[in-house]
Structure 1
Amino acid sequence: MLAIILGMLIVVCGVLFLRLHAFLALFFATLVVAAATAPACVLESGLDNRTANIVATSDLKLELTDVGDQFASKPGAYCVVRDKSDVENLKADFIWIDQFEASEAGTTATLRDSLTADSNPVGAELVSQGDYQQAVKLAKSSPSSRVANASGQTFGKIGVLIAMASIIGQCLLSSGAAERIVQGIRQSLGEQWTTLAFVISSFILAIPVFFDTVFFLMLPLAQAMARRTGRDYMKYVMSIIVGGTLAHSLVPPTPGPLFVASELNVSIGAMAIGGIAVGIWGVIAGYFYMIWANRRWQIPLRVHQTEPSEASPADPSQLPSFGFSILPVVVPILFLGLNTVNQTWPFDSNNALGSVANETISFLGDKNIALSIGAVLAMSTLILKPNMTWVGLSKSVQAALSEGGVVILITCAGGAFGEMIRQTNVGESIAQSLPEAVSGTGLLAMAFLVTLIIRVIQGSATVAMIAAIGIVVPVATQIGLPFHPVYLALAIGCGSKPLPWMNDSGFWVISRMSGFTEKETLKTFSVLLTIMGIASFLATLVCALCFPFV
């Protein structure tokens, strides 16, 4: 536990006081936690959920209890492990098991050969030879090696996704497709529903584009509307925040929800559907607070434009069509959602056409393929722009990958940090210290509060989600979930929203760009995100209770 506290202090102090880059703060904290973790704890974490306790023997039979979720349960070579405290001198008996039989009374393993008289395995743990050797190798490896391997595993999960999402966002901005989406939604809803158009537009754009970029894009439109109407500037600014901020923490492929989903083995499609489902309630709550706040306070437009064109919408004739513009966002979500549905209700595989349909949906719905298709569509909107050259396309993609590369570094360091926390075996310690009643909704509340505390201390929503998942997942593994793990991922995303203040970069982006004072930003942006985060979390609780999807 001391190693984890030290690691958290390094992250918080490094980001907050020393102004270190988030990657460096996470990386240094990861090395410290790895170096301070005893090899026995690493071994224990490597065998977590992969063992079964031997409680009795008879003839060629072993009676097993507490069978882990990832226990092999297949015929083959197994190890009987008695003492895991001394990794360097660890000894285990090797046996061969021909068959496993599960019943209500427990699990029985049938041995190929009789046990020797001096090798009584009762009270020991049974683990497959492959899992045992892998765990021992991990425990004996150096801290730096474990950190490097964990970083590589994180990249394998989400590195390509972040790169593709960065390309989608950059190309939508450079081609004018993002602005076309905003204009199209606003025109379809009408002038009187401009704020609703801003909410919908910013929510859609925040799925592939970072929130601060969405805010930069849409703020000139809000300022233009405030000049045209002469009022409601605060409402226009808040409508952008209402739509864009929750998608940033709940809907992949933005890094936070993408990383949390991968750590919990939640499909990207399920995370996207769940994020939209609970995020809508946060958006509704934020929308009503926006209306109330706009009636209570009036914040004037204080930003003076130097060039008239800066706050004016682009010429519609120079922008791609609305349908073409929105394809890079809609198509990946459609493929991911279709694959999620198909996994639950697949076509009949015995039918040739059904088998082809399943394989096609599985291929297109693969997270890397779906996002790559979206990136190709986004690049198409840019290359078809008037006067655009292949050199210009190359520069836009290069800029996107440069920005995405930084995000990948931070996320991989965060993934390694979470893995090093898991290797301390803290999950078992926390789970044992919690009351027996803490399960289900109690675990959701814990995930929400842990993320909220980290968010308030160090400011970044993404870093808070990355740090929290390393603490929450081991506890969830020990306690077990009575609902789909997507709800735990959503609770962490909701916890990253409340109480943003001066240590949050988004706070200063909104304050300085919109012309709000610090006090005005606190009572608009900070209160708004707090209300939305709590409302979305309550929606998550209700959904977990009513629709557990176990």
Structure 2
Amino acid sequence: MEAAAVSTGQMLIGLAVGIILLLVLAMKTRIHVFVALIISSLVTGMIGGLPFGDVIKSITSGFGSTLGSTGIIIGLGVMMGAILEKSGAAQQMAFSIIKTIGKAKEEWALALTGYVVAIPVFADSGLVILTPLAKSLSRMTGKSVIGLGLAMATGLQLAHVFIPPTPGPLAVAGILDVDMGMMILWGMVMTLPVLVASTLYSKWLGKKIYQIPTEDGTDFERKEFKEEYVKSIENVERIYQEMNLPGAFLSFAPIVIPLILILGNTVVSFLKLENGFAAFLKMIGHPVIALIVGLLIALYGLGVRHSKEELDKSIEEGVKSTGMILFITGAGGALGYVVRDAGIGNALGEAVLTIGMPGILIPFVIAALMRISLGSATVALITAATLTAPLVPQLGLNPTLVAMSTCAGAVSFSYFNDSGFWVFNGLYGLKEVKDQFMAKTMVSFIGSFTALALVLIFDIFM
């Protein structure tokens, strides 16, 4: 597919017009972001020099190719997450982590809980599921529900943006051709230090915004923090035993076993092992097969407590919520193919070389701008990865670090146009704009730039 002979300037104008049009349509009109992405792809390609027929071919090819590599995995992950929600496995994981980490470390326990739960469960859903636990811990320990809830929300958000099989990082790995196991491994390497920084901030903010849920859980009591308010939990076991939750092993297994299988595939491929056992590990470590294994464990390990009809209903409700995410993922791939086929990617690379911006910063800047503009981390991830992919070979960038830079940008600046911003504020009783910004917005800012700092450090040595 050859683009018409056009100047580099015209190609870049086509890209700029397409992105501006995407933002205007998504923010200022009734047009959904999926349709806006398709329209943006059409305009970008035609101004960039592609004949109309070739633009349509690029859009359909990009849409199909992107969903072909990610659609099944997203679907399987959502089904597994629905069973974890229905069975109470998410709550069991939370209590198990609290029990393991120990008393007086509830913020750390909830941060880690959110981090684990968000791998199969969408971040907003996970926040709703786990908030009753955070409120209960707040009443029992005397710690501010803001510090506890924000630490948990941060764990949820980081895993949601950095670690497959959640749709955003899964799409990024596919677009940038990053091995799934490497994406998981590097996502963990990047996010665990970020989780520490964000949790420390959450603990500090909990003392500045000191709120305790009322006994009936319908409101919050706010006052000045005093150390004497804080007390320890004496019997965590009694609390979760009364809830009749599934066992810890079965609760963690649907998440942990697929991750181990995928990482095993990555290790075998990295070591270039070719024997029969290595071939078997590659087969069961393929993301599709690994997630089928996780889904079967969830169905037959956790699902036995519910009827088939109940499970089917939960799974169908979960899948419904992902329909538009799949469309947006495919549309992002369509834009990427248009950018590639029109030669805009190469033109953008030449422009970057001319202005001297470090290439590793480009995906971060694009993702951050998209997150600020549209509020959606998933759209920010897909758009930034799509526009940066052509630059990877041209600028000699490391694809894995480009993926991490993309994720770092997408986690930034949670504010008014982010659904998670309002979900958190509503669940935790934050009504003042100053408090809202000090919580969700500031912790996302800290997480984003801490992750970027790590990316820049690794970029020096890789």
Q: Is the 8 A contact 1:26 1:413 kept in 2?
A: yes
| Partner residue of 1:275 out of 187, 191, 207 | 187
Q: Confirm whether residue 370 of structure 1 aligns to residue 290 of structure 2.
A: yes
Shift of 1:389: 1.3
Q: Is the 8 A contact 2:143 2:206 kept in 1?
A: no
- Considering Cα pairs closer than 8 Å and 6+ residues apart, tell me whether 1 or 2 has the greater RCO: 2
- Aligned partner of 1:460 in structure 2 is 376
| Partner residue of 2:257 out of 327, 331, 348 | 331
- Aligned partner of 1:470 in structure 2 is 386
- Aligned partner of 1:38 in structure 2 is 49
User: How big is each residue's C-alpha offset from its partner over 1:399-445, in whole Å with a ceiling of 9 and x where there is no partner?
Assistant: 22222222211111111122222233222222222346958xx2112
| Partner residue of 1:215 out of 123, 127, 150 | 127
Q: Is the 8 A contact 1:202 1:240 kept in 2?
A: yes
| Partner residue of 1:443 out of 318, 337, 359 | 359
Shift of 1:459: 1.3
Matched AA of 1:368: V
- 1:108-257 alignment, distance < 5 Å: 141-257=53-169
How far apart, in 2, do the equivalents of 1:17 and 1:242 lie? Answer: 29
How far apart, in 1, do the equivalents of 2:381 and 2:363 lie? Answer: 10
Shift of 1:465: 1.2
Shift of 1:228: 2.3
Larger CA deviation: 457-466 vs 23-32? 23-32
Shift of 1:30: 2.3
Q: Confirm whether residue 418 of structure 1 aligns to residue 330 of structure 2.
A: no
Q: Confirm whether residue 12 of structure 1 aligns to residue 23 of structure 2.
A: yes
User: How big is each residue's C-alpha offset from its partner over 1:474-513, in whole Å with a ceiling of 9 and x where there is no partner?
Assistant: 22232222xx411110000001122221111111111112
- 1:402-413 alignment, distance < 5 Å: 402-413=320-331
Task: State the TM-score, normalized to the length of structure 1.
Answer: 0.74
Matched AA of 2:130: M
| Partner residue of 2:32 out of 8, 21, 24 | 21
SS in 2 for 1:418: helix
How far apart, in 1, do the equivalents of 2:118 and 2:194 lie? Answer: 15
Shift of 1:391: 1.4
Larger CA deviation: 512-521 vs 176-185? 512-521
Q: Confirm whether residue 260 of structure 1 aligns to residue 172 of structure 2.
A: yes
Q: Confirm whether residue 503 of structure 1 aligns to residue 417 of structure 2.
A: yes
More helix per residue: 2
Change (3 A) 1:302 1:533: farther
Q: Is the 8 A contact 1:206 1:247 kept in 2?
A: yes
- Aligned partner of 2:428 in structure 1 is 514
Q: Is the 8 A contact 1:270 1:340 kept in 2?
A: yes
Larger CA deviation: 237-246 vs 174-183? 237-246
Shift of 1:521: 1.4
Q: Is the 8 A contact 1:175 1:381 kept in 2?
A: no
Change (3 A) 1:431 1:306: closer
- Aligned partner of 2:223 in structure 1 is none
Identity of aligned residues (%): 26
Q: Confirm whether residue 541 of structure 1 aligns to residue 431 of structure 2.
A: no
Shift of 1:362: 0.7
User: How big is each residue's C-alpha offset from its partner over 1:166-204, in whole Å with a ceiling of 9 and x where there is no partner?
Assistant: 011111000111111111111222231221110111101
How far apart, in 2, do the equivalents of 1:22 and 1:315 lie? Answer: 45
- Aligned partner of 1:110 in structure 2 is none
Q: Confirm whether residue 344 of structure 1 aligns to residue 270 of structure 2.
A: yes
Q: Is the 8 A contact 1:163 1:401 kept in 2?
A: yes
Structure 1 regions of 5+ residues with no counterpart? 40-138, 350-354
User: How big is each residue's C-alpha offset from its partner over 1:188-246, in whole Å with a ceiling of 9 and x where there is no partner?
Assistant: 22231221110111101111111101111111111112222344221111111221111
User: How big is each residue's C-alpha offset from its partner over 1:25-66, in whole Å with a ceiling of 9 and x where there is no partner?
Assistant: 222222333343423xxxxxxxxxxxxxxxxxxxxxxxxxxx
Shift of 1:278: 0.8
Matched AA of 2:390: P
Matched AA of 2:457: V
User: How big is each residue's C-alpha offset from its partner over 1:224-272, in whole Å with a ceiling of 9 and x where there is no partner?
Assistant: 1222234422111111122111111111111111111111111110000
Matched AA of 2:412: P
- Aligned partner of 1:358 in structure 2 is 278
Shift of 1:154: 0.7
How far apart, in 2, do the equivalents of 1:21 and 1:435 lie? Answer: 35
SS in 1 for 2:321: helix
SS in 2 for 1:192: coil
- Aligned partner of 1:73 in structure 2 is none
Change (3 A) 1:210 1:488: same
Q: Confirm whether residue 527 of structure 1 aligns to residue 447 of structure 2.
A: no
How far apart, in 1, do the equivalents of 2:269 and 2:115 lie? Answer: 27
SS in 1 for 2:416: coil
Computed over aligned residues only, the root mean square deviation of the Cα atoms, in angstroms, reads 2.3
Matched AA of 2:444: L
Q: Is the 8 A contact 2:107 2:199 kept in 1?
A: no
How far apart, in 1, do the equivalents of 2:215 and 2:423 lie? Answer: 14
Q: Is the 8 A contact 2:339 2:387 kept in 1?
A: yes
Structure 2 regions of 5+ residues with no counterpart? 1-11, 220-237
Change (3 A) 1:303 1:9: farther
Q: Is the 8 A contact 1:418 1:466 kept in 2?
A: no
Change (3 A) 1:501 1:19: farther
Matched AA of 1:470: T
How far apart, in 2, do the equivalents of 1:185 and 1:176 lie? Answer: 15
Q: Is the 8 A contact 2:363 2:406 kept in 1?
A: yes
Q: Higher Cα Rg: structure 1 or 2?
A: 1
SS in 1 for 2:164: coil
Task: State the TM-score, normalized to the length of structure 2.
Answer: 0.88
SS in 1 for 2:181: helix
Matched AA of 2:249: G
Instruction: Give the aligned length.
Output: 432
